[in-house]
């Protein structure tokens, strides 16, 4: 339930949400679909849902984004959206000529119970399947889960649609999760340096962070080719980032169950330890040592920890955002002595604290609070008690930051009030280095601004 006032308790003891610390399920699906080559995202629901999601994505990525809609109205809500969906698919096919249409549902179509797989079957029978783009469908009701659930649902559905079995190949699959285009480019660079063919899904490093065009493209170039997704079933292994992602909901889990492709699940590689785990796994899978350039990146990062920890050791932070990002960021902060006194997410996997204990053994000793299913009212109330030195999270926390005079270090998605959110690094030694520098400089700047003499060097 959403209100315009402050969070309140209902008679059934359910907490009302004023400003959720998450985004809607189909938003994540639309983002994932943009990472498939020649794919058009399509929402089965109202036009307003598509407009809201386009606004959020464009504001962060600063790229044009088309999201089609079956355009529900009052009549559709009563009698069902079959006609609208078929007409919308026909129009999108004629105007965009996509190879793939990624279909996600919204609250309204899920609430009235539209059987989308059946509607698609009818549509294919009418139109002739040979002349149609491939339809990838993900069920993404906004009234449950979050944008991360929709993201993973779309990725798994794409793999279920295209993957085929066969003799094992010298190939590794990488399901990187919801990360920045800059991080995707970095991961591709790493995999190429190890010399092993790979399939990375989704890949929106170009579709959502490309250069200027001489002429407008209805479907931006880039994305993971469907031919590459098809080969994922014969890969030697899959790597999947996500501490709370269960195999039954993941693409790598599907490939392991259906085609026997071993699934290697890792936390997001943020920090020295998590990055070490990722590079060690790549060494094992490829039989190649870590390239010297990444050894250099690691050495520089360790040196930076030694140089900069005196500024941040013992500082307190509040972390918020997607569960997997918060878990990995918390473990990273502990490497140089920052205490993440509150780790909060709007997600509700039920696994957040368990996974954090695996990475931060002294979690309870430090009295670190782990909260799932919270909104920003809850986080702000906690902040008044915990008195952190800074916040780490997305732009949705800016109001809280300003109101409580707390510095905000922006990470993840969405970043609406700063430029270049799509180019922020988070992963690996390089991304960790950038994050560490930003955190240290934020602390120094805050001390400098609050100093009566305003010292000019450190």
Mean pLDDT of 348-371: 95
pLDDT at 246: 95
Q: Which CATH number belongs to the domain containing residue 74 in this structure?
A: 3.40.50.1980
Tokens for 348, please give them: 């509700």
**Poorest-pLDDT segment among 10-24, 62-76, 102-116, 218-232:** 10-24
- 3-state secondary structure (DSSP) of residue 383: helix
Mean pLDDT of 200-221: 94
Same structural domain, 39 and 122: yes
pLDDT at 130: 76
Q: Which residue has better confidence, 303 or 3?
A: 303
Same structural domain, 150 and 223: no
Same structural domain, 259 and 363: no
Does any domain span residue 183? yes
Same structural domain, 49 and 146: yes
C-alpha 155/C-alpha 157 separation (Å) is 5
Instruction: Return mean pLDDT, the chain.
Output: 93
Structure confidence at residue 394 as a pLDDT band (50, 70, 90): very high
Measured in Å, how far apart are the chain's first and last C-alpha atoms? 49
pLDDT at 232: 97
C-alpha 437/C-alpha 308 separation (Å) is 8
pLDDT at 418: 94
Structure confidence at residue 17 as a pLDDT band (50, 70, 90): low
Mean pLDDT of 44-54: 92
Same structural domain, 268 and 353: no
Contact 35, 151 (CB under 8 A): no
Domain range enclosing 192: 172-210+217-286
Tokens for 401, please give them: 């930051």
Mean pLDDT of 425-438: 97
Site of tokens 């930051």: 401
Contact 173, 255 (CB under 8 A): yes
C-alpha 13/C-alpha 233 separation (Å) is 46
Does any domain span residue 374? yes
For CA atoms 212, 217, 219, 225, give the dihedral sign: negative
Same structural domain, 354 and 245: no
Nearest to 26 by CA among 126, 137, 117, 182: 137
Mean pLDDT of 253-272: 98
pLDDT (tens digit per residue) in 159-182? 999 999 889 999 999 999 999 999
Does any domain span residue 136? yes
Order of strands across the sheet that contains 369-371:
369-371, 339-344, 316-320, 390-393, 408-410
Same structural domain, 237 and 146: no
pLDDT (tens digit per residue) in 278-306? 999 999 999 999 999 999 999 999 999 99
Structure confidence at residue 142 as a pLDDT band (50, 70, 90): confident
Structure confidence at residue 3 as a pLDDT band (50, 70, 90): very low
pLDDT at 234: 97
Nearest to 119 by CA among 144, 87, 151, 148: 87
Tokens for 258, please give them: 């259906």
pLDDT at 11: 37
Same structural domain, 183 and 98: no
Structure confidence at residue 455 as a pLDDT band (50, 70, 90): confident
Does any domain span residue 379? yes
Mean pLDDT of 328-342: 97
pLDDT at 442: 96
Per-residue pLDDT for 13 more than 70?
no
* Total tally of structural domains belonging to the chain: 3
Mean pLDDT of 140-158: 95
Does any domain span residue 414? yes
Structure confidence at residue 205 as a pLDDT band (50, 70, 90): very high
Does any domain span residue 85? yes
Same structural domain, 180 and 265: yes
pLDDT at 16: 58
Structure confidence at residue 270 as a pLDDT band (50, 70, 90): very high
Structure confidence at residue 454 as a pLDDT band (50, 70, 90): confident
Does any domain span residue 296? no
Does any domain span residue 12? no
Contact 108, 70 (CB under 8 A): no
For CA atoms 410, 411, 415, 421, give the dihedral sign: positive
Same structural domain, 196 and 319: no
Write the CA distances from 48 to 45, 62, 74, 151, integer angstroms: 8, 20, 13, 20
Per-residue pLDDT for 458 more than 80?
no
Same structural domain, 83 and 118: yes
Number of helices and strands (H, E) in the chain? 17, 13
Nearest to 22 by CA among 408, 450, 391, 326: 326
Same structural domain, 331 and 424: yes
Site of tokens 């919270």: 374
What stretches of 404-446 adopt beta strand conformation (E)? 408-410
414: preceding bond cis by omega (within 30 degrees): yes
Per-residue pLDDT for 2 more than 60?
no
């Amino acid at each position: 339930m959403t209100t315009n006032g402050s969070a309140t308790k209902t008679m059934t003891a359910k907490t009302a949400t004023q400003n959720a610390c998450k985004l809607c399920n189909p938003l994540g699906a639309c983002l994932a679909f943009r990472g498939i080559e020649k794919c058009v995202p399509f929402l089965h629901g109202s036009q307003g849902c598509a407009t809201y999601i386009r606004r959020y994505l464009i504001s962060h990525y600063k790229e044009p984004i088309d999201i089609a809609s079956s355009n529900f109205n009052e009549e559709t809500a009563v009698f069902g959206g079959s006609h609208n969906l078929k007409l919308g698919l026909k129009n999108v096919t004629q105007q965009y000529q996509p190879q793939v249409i990624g279909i996600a549902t919204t609250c309204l179509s899920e609430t009235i119970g539209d059987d989308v797989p059946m509607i698609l079957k009818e549509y294919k029978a009418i139109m002739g399947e040979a002349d149609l783009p491939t339809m990838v469908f993900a069920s993404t009701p906004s009234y449950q889960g979050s944008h991360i659930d929709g993201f993973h649902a779309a990725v798994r559905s794409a793999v279920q649609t295209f993957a085929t079995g066969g003799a094992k190949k010298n190939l590794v699959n990488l399901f990187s999760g919801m990360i920045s285009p800059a991080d995707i480019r970095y991961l591709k660079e790493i995999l190429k340096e190890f010399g092993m063919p790979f399939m990375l899904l989704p890949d929106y490093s170009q579709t959502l962070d490309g250069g200027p065009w001489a002429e407008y493209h209805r479907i931006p170039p880039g994305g993971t080719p469907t031919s590459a997704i098809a080969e994922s079933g014969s890969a030697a292994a899959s790597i999947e980032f996500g501490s709370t992602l269960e195999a039954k909901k993941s693409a790598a889990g599907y490939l392991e169950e259906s085609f026997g492709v071993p699934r290697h699940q890792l936390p997001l590689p943020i920090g020295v330890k998590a990055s070490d785990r990722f590079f060690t796994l790549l060494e094992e899978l490829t039989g190649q040592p870590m390239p010297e350039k990444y050894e250099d990146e690691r050495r520089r990062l360790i040196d930076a920890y030694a140089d900069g920890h005196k500024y941040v050791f013992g500082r307190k932070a509040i972390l918020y955002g997607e569960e997997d990002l918060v878990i990995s960021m918390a473990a990273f902060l502990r490497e140089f002595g920052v205490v993440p006194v509150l780790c909060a997410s709007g997600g509700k996997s039920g696994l957040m604290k368990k996974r954090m204990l695996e990475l931060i053994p002294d979690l309870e000793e430090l009295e670190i609070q782990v909260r799932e299913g919270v909104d920003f009212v809850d986080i702000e109330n906690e902040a008044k008690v915990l008195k952190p030195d800074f916040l780490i999270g997305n732009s949705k926390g800016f109001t809280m930051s300003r109101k409580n005079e707390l510095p905000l270090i922006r990470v993840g998605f969405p970043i609406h009030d700063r430029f270049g959110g799509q180019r922020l690094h988070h992963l690996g030694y390089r991304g960790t280095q950038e994050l560490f520098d930003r955190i240290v400089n934020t602390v120094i700047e805050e001390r400098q601004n609050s100093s009566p003499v305003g010292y000019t060097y450190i």
